[in-house]
Chain A
Amino acid sequence: MARAVSTRRKVFYTAAAWSVALLIFFPVFWTILTSFKTEASAVASPPQLFSADWTLDNYAEVWGRSDYPRFFWNSVVISVGSTLLGLIIAIPAAWSMAFVPGNRTKDLLMWMLSTKMMPAAAVLIPMYLIFQRTGLFDTRTGLVLALMLMNLPVIVWMLYTYFKEIPSEILEAARMDGASLGKEIIYVLTPMAIPGIASTMLLNIILAWNEAFWTITLTTVNAAPLSAFIASFSAPQGLFYAKLSAASTMAIAPILILGWFSQKQLVRGLTFGAVK
């Protein structure tokens, strides 16, 4: 609904909008900035926007100490693994619901979403016990499974809304031209479905990377990802701000960058196609 306005007004609007946006973004910016300071200037009062002694030591120290690479690698394996596994299970389901809808398809989708409303804390004990008994506790496999199940309804829903927009006339045309089911899937449907699958994948990697209940409660040491690492990163007296900031920056940077690329699909995806 943008309308033509005078330049003076536009300057005013732009200044206002940018001020608000920068204010919202400021904590992220400040964390990144602090990660390059020395511990002394990180806690300087009044706060220093420009420090005299920029350094990369914090990154080196965090990376070298405390097994940071292992936490990082666990996060990668768990978020990517659970998303891929979820896609394998969800693609056929979403596909058939979009192209061969039955009377109950809508109910089924609603039921799937309702499983997400079960509070995770409510089933913490059974999950904990099952994981202990089956040897899945504190393993990456266990967390891949748990996060896959947690995000499966979202994956099915997102794929469903994307697949539904593929016109079924195209399928009929391909069939009339004598394409077999296999050819139909490989040459006609897949190319049209790939953008939807890609954005579903991106968003679910983000959700899984940022998950902070199962990743904290179902791990101790071996499989603990970055969420557990940061949650346990506590030391008083403020002598660790620069290192905390470096660790935080490393924890959020990959997802922040992925997120910037997929922000356009975020709205569509997370509202299950209800807002476009």
Chain B
Amino acid sequence: MATQSSRAAARLMVAPSVIVLFIWMIVPLAMTIWFSFRLYRLLSPERTGWVGFRNYSWFFNSPDFWLAISNTLLLVGGVLAITIVLGVLIALLIDLPVWGQGPLRILVISPFFVMPPVAASIWENLFMHPQNGMFASFAQGLGMKPILFMESYPMSSVIFIVSWEWLPFATLILLTALQSLSSEQLEAAEMDGASAISRFRYIVLPHMTRAITVVILIQTIFLLGIFGEIFTTTQGGPGSASTTLPYMIYKQAVIAKDIGRAAAGGIIAVILANIVAYFLMRSMGKNLDA
């Protein structure tokens, strides 16, 4: 049905999206590359000039940088592991014959709709606060000292909060996949004497592989950029203990006001994201063949 003219019309219809996305991608990127080789500090704007790779070497030589990289990977990896393992278990549980599956889904999905600063702020204050938080009350009730979550375990606390936000997403996707599994196959396996564990291992899990891949892909895109939760709770601290790469760039740009260094950090982040994206896209191409 595609005639010559409808092809032309089709291109015209796609053009606005492509053009704005192209500009959105290329202009800031080009500017970031430019700044990353310049001396550019907002606090001393009169001193400018080319500095070669000095901004980059500052990043690579900063002890905070490697900490930020490992924190970023820890955050992404930790949240993925928690949400997928718990997500599979909870999906299996909800998929059992239970009363009120509809309301159950609504309860479980709710944290996903809570905006990151709110999620971070209620966990930090209402639950994890060392004086007035609920966990502190419990600790006191048991005669223990309250835990200083944000001071002693900043990364774990952030990972915990972010996992709470993303667990619903993983659960719901895995549940959807689970519900498309035919019960005949399982019954046949059961009749042949397969145990619950081997039924899970050889029938349920392979069926969910695609959904698990999708959860990893989508969550990674969002998790690499996590900002609001850290901004609201630890501000990257104490010291740099919970500083991730996005937060380190933010600190360079907004607090240290060193545009050149922040730009170099940005380019490093782009390269890192591209390495991750390369692997994601390869499997995504296979999995998203709509």
Q: In the complex the two chains form, is B9's CB within 8 Å of A24's CB?
A: no
In the complex, which of the residues A27, A117, A118, A266 contacts B172, with contact meaning CB atoms closer than 8 Å?
A266
Interface: A233 (CB within 8 A): yes
Interface: B152 (CB within 8 A): no
Q: How large is the interface on A (under 10, 10 to 19, 20 to 34, 35 or more residues)?
A: 35 or more
Q: In the complex the two chains form, is A275's CB within 8 Å of B210's CB?
A: yes
Which of A54-62, A120-128, A190-198 lies at the interface?
A120-128
Q: Which of B's residues lie within 8 Å of A, judged by CB?
A: 1-2, 6-7, 9-11, 13-14, 16-18, 20-21, 24-25, 27-29, 31-32, 35, 90, 93-100, 104-119, 121-123, 125-127, 129, 131-132, 134, 136-137, 140-141, 164, 167-169, 172-173, 176-183, 186-187, 210-211, 214, 218, 221, 224-225, 227-228, 231-232, 245-247, 249-250, 253-254, 259, 262-263, 265-267, 269-270, 273-274, 276-277, 280-281, 284-285, 287-288, 290
How far apart are the CA atoms of A90 and B21 in the complex, in Å?
11
Q: In the complex the two chains form, is A117's CB within 8 Å of B17's CB?
A: no
Interface: A22 (CB within 8 A): yes
In the complex, which of the residues B93, B125, B249 contacts A121, with contact meaning CB atoms closer than 8 Å?
B249
Chain A 168-209 per-residue mask, 1 if CB under 8 angstroms from chain B, else 0 = 100110000000000000000000000000000000001001
In the complex, which of the residues A97, A119, A212, A244 contacts B125, with contact meaning CB atoms closer than 8 Å?
A244
Q: In the complex the two chains form, is B13's CB within 8 Å of A123's CB?
A: no
Q: In the complex the two chains form, is A212's CB within 8 Å of B127's CB?
A: no
A100-B7, A270-B169 given; A217·B121 CB < 8 A: no
Tally inter-chain residue pairs, CB-CB below 8 A: 325
Interface: A51 (CB within 8 A): no
Interface: A20 (CB within 8 A): yes
Q: Which residues of A contact B11 (CB under 8 A)?
A: 96, 102
Q: In the complex the two chains form, is A123's CB within 8 Å of B7's CB?
A: no
Nearest CB in chain A: distance from B109 CB, A: 5
Q: In the complex the two chains form, is A149's CB within 8 Å of B20's CB?
A: yes
In the complex, which of the residues B95, B122, B227, B274 contacts A31, with contact meaning CB atoms closer than 8 Å?
B122
Task: Give residues 1-60 of A contacting B (CB, 8 Å).
Answer: 1-5, 9-10, 13-14, 16-18, 20-22, 24-25, 27-28, 30-31, 34, 43, 45-47
Q: Is the interface of B mostly helix, strand, loop or mixed?
A: helix
Q: Which of A's residues lie within 8 Å of B, judged by CB?
A: 1-5, 9-10, 13-14, 16-18, 20-22, 24-25, 27-28, 30-31, 34, 43, 45-47, 89-90, 92-93, 95-97, 99-100, 102, 106, 108, 110, 112-130, 149, 152-153, 156, 160-161, 164, 168, 171-172, 206, 209-210, 212-213, 216-217, 226-228, 230-231, 233, 237-238, 241, 244-245, 248, 251-252, 255-256, 258-260, 263, 266-267, 270-276
